[in-house]
A and B are shown apart, each in its own frame.
Chain A
Amino acid sequence: MKKRIFIILLLLFANCTSDEQGYQPTELPIEIPEVFSTYLIPPVIPADNPQTVEGVALGRKLFFDKILSADGTQSCASCHSPQNAFAENLPTSIGVDGISGTRNAMPLFNLAWNYGDRFNWDGSALSLERQAEEPVENPIELHSDWNNVVNRLQNHPEYPELFQLAFNTSTITKELTTKALAQFERTLISANSKFDRYTLGQASLTPQELNGLDIFLREDKGDCFHCHGNPNNPLWTNNDFHNNGLDATFTDLGLGAVTGDPNDNGKFRSPSLRNLAYTAPYMHDGRFATLDEVIDHYSEGLQNSPTIDPLMKQIAQGGVQLTAQEKADLKAFLLTLSDPSFLNNLDFQN
């Protein structure tokens, strides 16, 4: 009898040792593309959520799993589709209850290079981990409850083991779930557009595309670059907040509703211009169906308001007044920033 108890204790001890003490998930450093390592400072990886093989795999499974929604009908990917560069082709997203929200689903890529670490159109999420919390409970999105979600995951036949592998514990929490989602999202890197290859000397641009770049960079023409990057800032966004003249009066205060500062009313985060070919419709409310409409807006559709960004310099004339040819050239350049390989990367699929 004593011998049997000894063996049981020995087995328990051995089990604890292997599961709780000796095991470490496998580190998976971010693979930094050459155009980023050459021109940009390193990405932001929180010290308390390092990238691991198992964490990313878990995050990917969670991202595509409808278990996060109240009725099991939607996942993160329902509104952030890989085929749309993790955006959506609807102006505003429709949640599990069939209710339409007020914002366009933002595309998801190069998120670890958002140095200000403020996410969402209005900057309401102060880290990628926190961003992942909100849609789960939002009544017009997944309309779930984190306690329920955690219970479901805990009672799932696979997830406890996957959390064990990713975080060395099979006790599932909201915090670990959002950490895994953030780890996966940080792997969504897009840096293989035609323009990236042009930067690396592996492709050439047409005269029209080069002229479009000129318009993009010229302060007396498009002047897009002050907010949307440049050949030496291949993120193609400053991730900052601007009132870009969409409305004379605001139905959505954007950053102002988050900070409470009236000076921030009507300001929204500059989205990256990468992958525009796949992320229509455009703007925070998806009001523009096409890229042509976007260019028309900056050319002659600006609306004045008290918080208009001074970079909308020709507000008095309604915009920068591009000719039809200049608009076509600008559009041709913008499309060189799209990266088809990002859509087809098997690591990013369900």
Chain B
Amino acid sequence: MKNLFWHLLLTVLIFSCNDDNDGNGLRNITVDFKFTHTWDGAVINDSNFTTSVVTNANGETMTIARLRYLISRIELFNTQGDSFTFDGYKFTDLSDTTTYDFSTNNAIIPSGTYTLRFIWGFNEEDNLDGAYPDLNSASWNWPEMLGGGYHFLQLDGMYNVDSSPSPYNFHNGTARLSTNPNVFEQNFATIEFPEEIVLSENATIEIVMDIAEFFKNPNTWNLNVLDTPLMPNYNAQKMMQENVRTVFSLGTVSQ
């Protein structure tokens, strides 16, 4: 009799542990993110990014030697307006495929219909000089005299590669408006996707970065004028902030 009681108790406990429903027919699901990279639709990855010759909107032929970028505060909103922010930030190095995907420990949300947004770079609250050992160790810092904190983007390569190759350093971070005294402007961007994402099972959401968009929309980038140095160039920094808004798009949602 005693054994039967413990069996019944255990059975009840196991069932309550397995029950993902929250009483409203919703299930708890996990969400991961997968980032893919293209140039005007052609896939760019670790195996081809240093050898691909691409053409930007201004007609300049380009190569990419290095592409690293930072996003943070990945956030899903459901139709009730509830927000689910995923811990941590995502530092991607195109030469390292292990940095392409993003998973966090707190990526469990109720099933439902969501929209997605994240921050390009760090916002003012997060962009703290020297605060993140992993980013310091990757030499990702943005110099103090330019406002400190961290790079949002490092895109290096050569342009006019079909005629007379020249270097470009397309680096994005805090914008310095003026010196004496130094006046800085936050330069992050909130990237929002209008599409509704219906999540009913554990899901992987693909986000596509079209690198060509950095040079296209709304500002057609002329590398012959703006190649380097761009970090202390306020106008260049603000143009990058404007152009990054169309760089990302929602890809497939697997579940």
Q: How far is the CA of A310 from the CA of B230 in the complex (A)?
A: 13
List B contacts of A113 (CB < 8 A).
137
Q: Chain A contacts of B137 at CB under 8 A? A: 39-41, 113, 115, 233, 235
- If A218-B145, A232-B141 touch, whether A313 touches B229 (CB-CB below 8 Å) is yes
- For window 194-237 of A, CB contacts with B under 8 Å fall at 214, 217-220, 223, 225-227, 229-233, 235
Shortest Cβ distance from residue A234 to the other chain B in the assembled complex, whole angstroms? 9
B165 to chain A, nearest CB (A): 8
- Is A149 at the interface (CB under 8 A from chain B)? no
What is A's interface to B at a CB cutoff of 8 Å? 39-41, 113, 115, 214, 217-220, 223, 225-227, 229-233, 235, 238, 263, 308-313, 315-316
A309's nearest neighbour on chain B, judged by CB, is B65
Contact B139 A310 (CB under 8 A): no
Supply 22 A–B pairs (Cβ within 8 Å), ascending by A: A39-B133, A39-B137, A41-B134, A113-B137, A214-B145, A217-B144, A217-B145, A219-B171, A219-B228, A223-B229, A226-B154, A231-B130, A232-B136, A309-B65, A309-B167, A310-B157, A310-B168, A311-B167, A313-B227, A313-B228, A315-B167, A316-B166
| Contact B139–A225 (Cβ < 8 Å) | yes
Closest to A239 in B: B139
In the bound complex, do residue B143 and residue A218 qualify as a contact, i.e. CB atoms below 8 Å apart?
yes
State whether B141 touches A310 (Cβ < 8 A).
Answer: no
A residues less than 8 Å from B66 (CB atoms):
310
Interface residues of B (CB under 8 A from A): 50-51, 65-66, 129-130, 133-134, 136-139, 141, 143-145, 154, 156-158, 166-169, 171, 227-232
Measured CB to CB, the closest approach of chain B to A309, in angstroms, equals: 7
Q: Complex Cα distance A220/B169, Å?
A: 11
Cβ of B210 to closest chain A Cβ, rounded Å? 21
Given contacts A233-B139, A309-B65, 11 further A-B contacts (CB under 8 A): A41-B137, A218-B143, A219-B228, A230-B141, A230-B143, A232-B129, A235-B137, A238-B139, A309-B156, A310-B167, A316-B166
Q: Is the CB of B134 within 8 A of A219?
A: no
With A310-B158, A315-B167: A263-B50 Cβ-Cβ less than 8 Å: yes
Contact flag A220-B229 (CB < 8 Å), given A310-B65, A313-B167: yes
Nearest 5 Cβ contacts at the A-B interface: A310-B167, A232-B130, A219-B229, A310-B156, A217-B143
Q: How far is the CA of A315 from the CA of B168 in the complex (A)?
A: 11
Closest-CB distance, A333 to chain B (whole angstroms):
14
Residue pair A233, B157 in contact (C-beta under 8 Å): no
Q: How many Å lie between the Cα of A230 and that of B145 in the bound state? A: 12
Distance A238 CA – B137 CA, assembled complex (angstroms): 8
B169 contacts across to A, CB distance below 8 A: 219, 310-311, 313
A220–B227 CA distance with the chains assembled, in angstroms: 12
Shortest Cβ distance from A42 into B: residue: B133
A155 CB to nearest B CB, Å: 44
From B50, B138, B139, residue with most partner A Cβ within 10 Å: B139
Cα–Cα distance between A310 and B156 once the two chains are bound (Å)? 6
Alpha-carbon gap, A37 to B154, bound state (A): 26
Which A residue's beta carbon lies closest to that of B64? A310
Query: Within the assembled complex, what's the spacing in Å between the Cα atoms of A41 and B140?
Result: 13
A229 to B133, CA, bound (A): 13
Taking CB atoms, residues of chain A closer than 8 Å to B154 are: 226
Q: Which residues of A lie under 8 Å from residue B156 when comparing CB positions?
A: 309-311
Whether A226 and B139, one on each chain, are in contact in the complex, defined by CB atoms closer than 8 angstroms, is yes
* B167 contact from A219, A238, A312, Cβ within 8 A: A312
A57 to chain B, nearest CB (A): 30
Task: With CB as the reference atom, state the residue of chain A lying closest to B166.
Answer: A316
Best-buried of A230, A235, A310, A313 by chain B (most CB within 10 Å): A310
Within the assembled complex, what's the spacing in Å between the Cα atoms of A113 and B138? Answer: 11
Q: How far is the CB of B152 from chain A (nearest CB, A)?
A: 15
A316–B51 Cα distance when bound, in Å, is: 22
User: Which residues of chain B are near A232, meaning CB under 8 Å?
Assistant: 129-130, 136, 141
